Structure formats: structure tokens, C-alpha cells
Amino acid sequence: MEHDRLSLQADASAENAKYLAIIGNSQNTITFFIALKTPGNVSSCHISWMNTGRLAYLGHTLPEIRERGLEYFRHYLHPADLNVLDETLKKLEKHKSEPFIPASYRAMDKFRKAYVWYYCQVSACDYFPDGSIREVQVNVYEISTDKVLIAKMTAIFNEINNLGLQAMFNTISRRQKEILALLIKGHTEKETAEILGISVTIVRTHHQRIRDTTKITHINELIALAIQSGLF
């Protein structure tokens, strides 16, 4: 009986692998798995990409994609959409009865040299003992190649994103906004200190508090999102 059960499991796994291979090689669908090494830590993720037929489109090898993890997404996704993974995992954990959580994001198209909108469905595959997500499967579809439609969608999503960014940057202090504005203009910490009449140490302290408050650690992302918010 045990042998029969294991045999059935093996057959089911083989069938699943065959199904995923069909999806993975489709030109209309991108399929990959995201696994977290540490509970709740999106930065610890690594990626298993199923679309071997689309590596030219991606511009990276499978081992590169897997090992780069979140850094791959930083390279590939629009800066304003880098929080999509974290937010989607939180929604998936909150609504475990849902078969999948839908999301939309912009990713760089290597050949078009432009960001393209994608729709994705994220499904939970495995959980850590504490109930948090360990692994998810992501099925991605390009939304449209219609330039007019993409422009309209971009405007709508930008407006929604900008409201969220404005709310986030409004949580930092007036002084921190002044310092961030000077950072955006390209001033160094020393120049910022001289302009505002404060010490470099205080400027550095405010820089760190801005990162802590916004949860944005990469300076380029911080600048890009601050500019996009329209507050600076």
C-alpha cells in the first residue's frame, strides 16, 4: 500500500512538472517560484524561473536570476513597484482562503527598452512553521502592447502610487524633507550641512531616520520615489 501511495505521488509530481513546463515555455506566460530563506524577510528570497524559452528576453541566466534574488527584481522592476512582492505576500497571508492574490507591476522589456505593465497571480505553495509564507508560485501575463492603453493605465497607477508615496514621505519631519530635497539636487552631506547651518553628523542622522521611516534603504530608490511623489 505504501509503495502504491508513493508511486501515485510520483506520478502526480511528474504530471505537475509537465504542466509547469508547458506553462513555462509559453510565450504568453511567465512562471516562476519565489522562496524565502527567512520568515517575513523578502530580501532573503531566491527565484526559480520556469521559462527557459524566455532567457533571451530576460537577459540573465537561470543561476543568475536565482542567486540575485531581490536584487534581480531591483534591476528588473520599476522602482515604484518594488514593494509589490512584500505587499502581495502580506495579503496572501491575511487571506489564506483565497486561491491567489492578483497584482500588477511594471517591468523593463529588454528589447523595447521601456517598462511594460504585467498582471500576475501569486499563489502560496509552502509555509514556515510560524504560518508565514515560505514559497509562492507566480504566473505573469503581459497586459497589453497597445501604447494608448498602456499610457492610460500608467497614468492611473501612477496617480494611485503617488498618493501612497505622498502619504509615506509626509511622515518624515520638515527638516528631513529639506535634507531630502537637497539630496535629490545632488548635494553632498557636507554641502547640505553648510546650506542648512547644521553639522554633517546631524545630516547623516536625518538620512538614516529617513531610511528607517520610509523603509527604503537604497539611495537611488529613495531619490526616485521621492521625485515621483511630487512633493520635492
CB 106 within 8 A of CB 81: yes
> Tens of pLDDT along 195-229?
999 999 999 999 999 999 988 888 888 898 898 88
Q: Are residues 31 and 124 both part of a single domain?
A: yes
User: How many domains are contained in the chain?
Assistant: 2
Q: Are residues 52 and 136 both part of a single domain?
A: yes
Residues of the domain holding 88: 2-143
Q: Are residues 179 and 133 both part of a single domain?
A: no
Q: Are residues 134 and 182 both part of a single domain?
A: no
Cα-based distances in Å from 47 to 51, 62, 95, 108, 196: 12, 9, 23, 17, 45
Q: Are residues 135 and 158 both part of a single domain?
A: no
Q: Are residues 131 and 220 both part of a single domain?
A: no
Q: Which of 143, 158, 186 is the last residue of a domain?
A: 143
Low-confidence ranges of the chain (pLDDT < 50): 2-6, 8-10, 19-20, 22-27
**β-pairing verdict for 101-109 and 45-49:** unpaired
CATH number, domain containing residue 155: 1.10.10.10
Q: Are residues 155 and 179 both part of a single domain?
A: yes
Residue 232: predicted pLDDT: 85
pTM over 0.85: no
Helix, coil or strand: residue 41: coil
Residues 92, 169, 115, 69: what is their CA dihedral angle, to the nearest 10 degrees?
A: -50
CATH number, domain containing residue 6: 3.30.450.20
